[in-house]
Amino acid sequence: MNSPHVERRTIRQRLLFIIRMTLFALVLLALLIPTALGAGFIAVLTVAVCSGGPTPPMPYEDVSFPSSEFNRQTPAYFVPGAQPNGEASSDTALERATIIVVPTGNAGRGDRMDEIVVYHEGGFNVLTYDSRTCVGGVANSLGYREALQVGDALVYLQTRADVDANRIGIHGFSAGGASALMAAARFPEIRAVVAAGGYHDFRDEIERNTPSRLWFAPFFRFGAFGAYRLITGDDISVLSPVSVIGQIAPRPILLIYGTNEPSLNGGRLQQAAAGANAQLWEVPSATHGSYLITAPDQYRQRVIAFMTDAFK
């Protein structure tokens, strides 16, 4: 029979064991939760589900072009520019400039339809196509691999008699804006760029928003960076338009950001890195993506004037 002293010692040992295991579990959770949140953050952004896009409200052609990444066709819409009388152009579009509108993230053709309408009404042809997520069912890489898809669009446009291959511009928003800049740095056939609301360097954006003074920051970063590599196969350092934007010169660049947009400083960094060929329009009171809603007349005037000047 155990003595009272032995029983008290046994109870005390059990209590210490429970306390230690509880503390260990709490520490483990404190490490795992921010890591999981970082991984989840990237997973949400790169989700491999096609979100689709609207059908153009103006006359358009239902077209497609081969994907160099997947053994299939990329569905697209080709929207001829409007004539001065408001009708769709036909054979008179032989020397007309064309704008590639990059799908945002995992969107389908017809994404950014409001901007497409602006270009159409301004007399520009527009090519809008399915994202690689829609075409191949793969994760969205947030702009890096999507930039290569622009090359497929360029090859297609060069086969059309109603497109002037020397007057092709590109437009993108958010991750699509980053993709537009990275594509322009890679493909000299792109003669002008409008990039709105994109990140300047995705790794740096995460680091700036998780300062080192926060104890959980290293674990959140570890989860985010690791998840990006696991999901896309690339290191997150490839998401850096600011590091290649200088290669676009002397071709003109228009950067658009709202004054209430968190990534505005990134726009300023990109303008500084690009040089004299880049201009930055800070839309007063606009938030991420609300530029056309906040300043509709100025948006139309600036974007059309920019592309018109670029192709003179």
Spell out the SS3 assignment of 128-182.
EECCHHHHHCCCCCCCHHHHHHHHHHHHHHCCCCCCCCCCEEEEEECHHHHHHHH
| pLDDT classification of 232: cutoffs 50, 70, 90 | very high
| pLDDT classification of 212: cutoffs 50, 70, 90 | confident
| pLDDT classification of 92: cutoffs 50, 70, 90 | very low
The CATH number of 51-201+239-310 is which of 3.30.300.30, 3.40.50.1820, 1.20.1510.10, 2.40.50.140?
3.40.50.1820
pLDDT beyond 50 at 304 = yes
| pLDDT classification of 312: cutoffs 50, 70, 90 | confident
Closest CA to 175 of 268, 99, 112: 112
Quote the mean pLDDT of the chain. 90
Distance CA 91, CA 89 (A): 7
CA 88 to chain centre: 30
Half-sphere CA count of 198, side-chain side, radius 13 A: 35
pTM of the predicted model, to two decimals? Answer: 0.88
Q: Under a CB-based contact definition with an 8 Å cutoff, are residues 200 and 142 in contact?
A: no
Domain with CATH 3.40.50.1820 in the chain: 51-201+239-310
pLDDT computed for residue 34 by the predictor: 82
